[in-house]
């Protein structure tokens, strides 16, 4: 079989190349086999990645068992939770492009025959998948898996409990000792944070896209089953290489529509509306924001996952996992079952396995008894969001689905957080945080601190928050982000003034600034936008090149 890797391993003219590879310890026999790049992001700064060295060893074992030679290399990784609330968060979304570029660079410099992508958290997952779509090699994803649910005083908790506990502490509802107890119990060990936050949303969607084996999204990080799955993934990549099944053969339009349906069913993070379009872009496809609405309107929300509900990833896994969700959807014709998957089988063949079933009909409800009749996400339009805005409607209190109130305007997240935590926000207010978009932030920071503070002080059912930035997958409440165009790109959000009335209608997908057109024209004429926040380094380059959040915030 002619291999891509022969470009650097075959023929007398490649003797110098083989000499260097032998310096690493590879034998002639190993260099004659298919060479599989294993992109991993293990480090000592992300709890979801602290164990990836062990997962990586298992992947390499599987590759060797199936007759291949693994070649491991690494990428960077930023934990959104640790980066939250300070300058570090500006680098989180921006790091997605660095990760994609670094994987691409390695796979072009070393002509691997296949790739195994081993991410786990936040922007590392979409960044690696973007690279895979760009390269179009035989590729499989195996994540590090979710964290166990924390337990404190007999109650299940997670990282969001700590963020909201901080707000409760500030208003006297929690003592320092109680907050310390939450801090010490919420994150019990290795894995991506235990709710349906961004990392777990994206890891679950790898199954829906067909680019990972069943169980990838929900098998716990600390379970032996995760090690076995890693070995199976290592073996599966060899089958993909043999059959010459590349990533773009799997990442089709139908596969993305399947992912949207599953996303709506489990109520994923609003960040999926950034990452799925970006991955589609790298695959040569277009996934407009309005496709999220179309999927939402026809797909009921059937899982009540944290932060909107009580269930965590281990609950979903025990209930049957993503495969069980997909089987429920497929039985009603909501999925394209002819899509190819990395198992070598079609999605329909995967779901026909008798072991795929729902074991808990409260964690995964039937379609005729959903938690909500529409999907977890909604895309809003209107004069305040001409190109769109995104809200996790499944995590919004019913009384806040429609709301009108006065704007409280802030040009940075820090100013808004200070006003919230110092109790300067009144019930009914609509907080507006602008100049925090991909270009204006720069980096489109997640804003879990202000939304969690609102929840902690009990205002999440009375106050809305709008931003051209974004929210953590752990955010709940009437938090509407990704407002496009952003303020720095001339969006109307840049013209909002203190006290302006804003009307939110999530069921009707509408977001309106109730200000006379002539007044807006006068404001635009005298507008003086703040200067660029970053003038050198990677973030400055990112700000110059990044596109709209409505199109995935990809760099052009």
Give the per-residue SS3 of 474-532. Answer: CCCCCEEEEEECCHHHCCHHHHCCCCCEEEEECCCCEEEECCCHHHHHHHHHHCCCCCC
Beta carbons within 8 Å of 177's beta carbon, 6+ residues apart: none
Asked if 140 contacts 246 with a C-beta cutoff of 8 angstroms, the reply is no
Classify 68 as helix, strand or coil: coil
Nearest to 326 by CA among 193, 246, 210: 210
Give me Rg for the CA atoms of the chain.
23
- Give the Cα separation of 280 and 286 in Å (integer): 6
Token output for 292: 């999220």
CA distances for 296 relative to 157, 203, 241, 266, 336, angstroms:
28, 20, 36, 11, 16
Pairing, β 155-157 against β 150-152? antiparallel
Token output for 372: 């909500």
The DSSP annotation for 402-463 comes to EEEEEEEEESSHHHHHHHHHTT---TT-EEEE-S-STTTTTS--B-HHHHHHHHHTT-TTT-
Classify 469 as helix, strand or coil: coil
Quick check: is 273 catalytic? no
Asked if 308 contacts 267 with a C-beta cutoff of 8 angstroms, the reply is yes
- Give the Cα separation of 6 and 32 in Å (integer): 8
Q: Which residues pair with 69 in a beta bridge?
A: 35
- Give the Cα separation of 329 and 371 in Å (integer): 15
Tell how far CA 236 is from the center of its chain: 25
Asked if 443 contacts 93 with a C-beta cutoff of 8 angstroms, the reply is yes
The DSSP annotation for 350-365 comes to HHTSTT---S-TTTS-
Beta carbons within 8 Å of 152's beta carbon, 6+ residues apart: 161, 181, 182, 185, 186
Residue in 323, 449, 472, 488 annotated catalytic? 472
CA distances for 461 relative to 151, 372, 498, 514, angstroms:
26, 18, 21, 22
Nearest to 27 by CA among 12, 9, 14, 39: 9
The residues annotated with a catalytic role in the active site are: 472
């Amino acid at each position: 079989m002619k291999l891509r890797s022969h470009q650097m391993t075959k023929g007398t003219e490649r003797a110098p190349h083989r000499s260097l590879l032998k310096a690493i310890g590879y034998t002639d026999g190993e260099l004659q086999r298919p060479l599989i790049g294993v992109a991993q992001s293990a480090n000592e700064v992300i709890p979801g990645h602290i164990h990836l060295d062990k997962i990586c060893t298992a992947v390499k074992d599987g590759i060797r068992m199936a007759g291949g030679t693994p070649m491991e290399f690494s990428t960077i990784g930023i934990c959104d939770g640790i980066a939250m609330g300070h300058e570090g968060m500006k680098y989180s979304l921006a790091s997605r492009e660095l990760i994609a570029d670094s994987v691409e660079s390695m796979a072009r410099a070393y002509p691997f025959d296949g790739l195994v992508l081993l991410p786990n958290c936040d922007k590392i997952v979409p960044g690696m998948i973007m690279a895979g779509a760009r390269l179009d090699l035989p590729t499989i994803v195996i994540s590090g898996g979710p964290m166990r649910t924390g337990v404190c005083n007999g109650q299940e908790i997670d990282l969001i409990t700590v963020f909201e506990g901080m707000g409760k502490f500030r208003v006297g509802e929690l003592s320092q000792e109680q907050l310390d107890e939450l801090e010490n119990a919420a994150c019990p060990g290795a894995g991506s944070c235990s709710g349906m936050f961004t990392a777990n949303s994206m890891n679950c969607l790898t199954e829906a896209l067909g680019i990972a084996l069943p169980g990838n999204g929900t098998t716990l990080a600390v379970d032996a089953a995760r090690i076995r799955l890693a070995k199976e993934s290592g073996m599966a990549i060899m089958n993909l290489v043999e059959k010459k099944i590349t990533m773009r053969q799997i990442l089709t339009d139908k596969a993305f529509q399947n992912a949207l349906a599953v996303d709506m069913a489990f109520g994923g993070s609003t960040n999926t509306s950034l990452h799925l379009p970006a991955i589609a872009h790298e695959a040569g496809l277009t996934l407009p924001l309005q496709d999220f609405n179309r999927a939402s309107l026809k797909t009921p929300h059937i899982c009540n996952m944290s932060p909107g509900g009580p269930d965590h990833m281990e609950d979903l896994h025990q209930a049957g996992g993503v495969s069980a969700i997909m089987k429920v959807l497929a039985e009603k014709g909501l999925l394209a079952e002819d899509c190819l998957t990395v198992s070598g089988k079609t999605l329909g063949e995967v779901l026909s396995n008798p072991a795929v079933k729902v074991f808990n009909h409260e964690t995964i409800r039937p379609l005729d008894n959903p938690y909500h009749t529409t999907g977890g996400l909604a895309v809003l339009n209107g004069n305040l969001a001409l190109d769109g805005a995104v809200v996790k409607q499944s995590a919004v209190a019913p009384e806040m689905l429609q709301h009108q109130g006065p704007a409280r305007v802030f040009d940075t997240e820090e100013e808004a957080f200070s006003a919230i935590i110092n109790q300067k926000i009144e019930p009914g207010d609509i907080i507006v945080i602008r100049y925090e978009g991909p270009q204006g932030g720069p980096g489109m920071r997640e804003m879990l601190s202000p939304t969690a503070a609102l929840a902690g002080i009990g205002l999440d059912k009375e106050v809305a928050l709008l931003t051209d930035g974004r929210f953590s997958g752990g955010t709940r409440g009437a938090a509407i982000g990704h407002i496009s165009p952003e303020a720095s790109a001339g969006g109307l959000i840049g013209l909002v003034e203190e006290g302006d009335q804003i009307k939110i209608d999530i069921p009707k997908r509408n977001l309106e600034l109730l200000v006379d057109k002539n007044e807006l024209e006068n404001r635009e004429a005298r507008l003086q936008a703040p200067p660029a926040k970053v003038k050198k380094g990677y973030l400055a380059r990112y700000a110059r090149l990044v596109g709209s959040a409505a199109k995935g915030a990809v760099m052009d």
